[in-house]
Amino acid sequence: MSTASLEKIVRCSALLEKIVSDFYIELSRKVDKAEARAKLLYIGYDSYKHYQLLVNYAVDKQLPSIDECRESYGYFFDKLSNLNVLSMKDKISSDELRSWISSMENFENSVGEELFHKMIFTMASKLDFKGKEELILILKLLADDEEKHANLLKEILSA
Ligand SMILES: [Fe+2]
Ligand SMILES: [Fe+2]
């Protein structure tokens, strides 16, 4: 475990939040229902905040490429590789919305962002570096947000 690997996971996590943020904002534009639109936009900008907060702890603020992150964290990035399918369509049906939201629900929970943040937390706890306390606090705040995202998605699904 080294500060170089912490740097990499923080930058890859920032990239992941940026991809997720772009996805939700794009998805919100293609949805007719006002309530779902507002909630998706909210999650989108919340994820943008996550991206900015994480990048703040990286020494190199330039986001890595997806390929660079896939090498080390393939699982997370493979799961996201089909999100850009959305950019090809103007409007999506409510069935399509449900299927997108179901797949993101898992990602918000145990198998995606939350797991990624836990990995950073574990790594950061074992290392000594400038800004450690702040990073750990930020990760706790992000975890609360991810729980909120999962709940909002659940609400959209049950509406
Ligand atoms: Fe997030
Ligand atoms: Fe999230």
3-state secondary structure 30-73: CCCCHHHHHHHHHHHHHHHHHHHHHHCCCCCCCCCCHHHHHHHH
CA distances from 93 to 30, 33, 98, 99 (A): 9, 11, 9, 10
Tell me how far the alpha carbon of residue 14 lies from the centroid of ligand 1, in angstroms.
9
Q: What is the pTM of this model?
A: 0.92
What b-and-e string marks burial along 4-38, b requiring 16 or more CB atoms within 10 Å of the CB? eebebbbbbbbbbbbbbbbbbbbbbebbeeeebbe
CA of 32 to the centre of ligand 1 (A): 24
CA atoms of 113 and 76, how far apart (whole Å): 8
**Cα distance between the two ends of the chain:** 45
For residue 76, what pLDDT is reported?
Answer: 82
**Structural tokens at position 120:** 């950073």
CATH assignment at residue 105: 1.20.1260
Number of domains in the chain: 1
Domain that includes residue 131, residue range: 3-158
Q: Which residues surround ligand 2, an ion (CB under 5 A)?
A: 108, 113, 146, 149
Query: Quick one: how far is CA 96 from the chain centroid?
Result: 20
Q: Would the pLDDT of 114 be above 80?
A: yes
- Contact assessment for residue 81 and residue 41, using Cβ atoms and an 8 Å cutoff: no
- Which pLDDT band holds residue 85 (cuts at 50, 70, 90)? confident
Residues at Cβ < 5 Å from ligand 1 ion: 17, 47, 50, 113
Quickly state the pLDDT bin for 37 (edges 50, 70, 90): very high
pLDDT for residue 87 is more than 90? no
pLDDT of 61 strictly over 80: yes
Is residue 122 very low, low, confident or very high in pLDDT (cuts 50, 70, 90)? Answer: very high
Average pLDDT over every residue of 55-59: 92
For residue 80, pLDDT over 90 is answered with no
Q: Which of 11-20, 58-67, 74-83, 145-154 has the lowest average pLDDT?
A: 74-83
The pLDDT of residue 90 is: 86
Give Rg (Cα) of the chain.
16
- What average pLDDT does the chain have? 91
Confidence label for 103 from pLDDT (cuts 50, 70 and 90): confident
Class of residue 97 by CB neighbours under 10 A (exposed 0-12, middle 13-18, buried 19+): buried
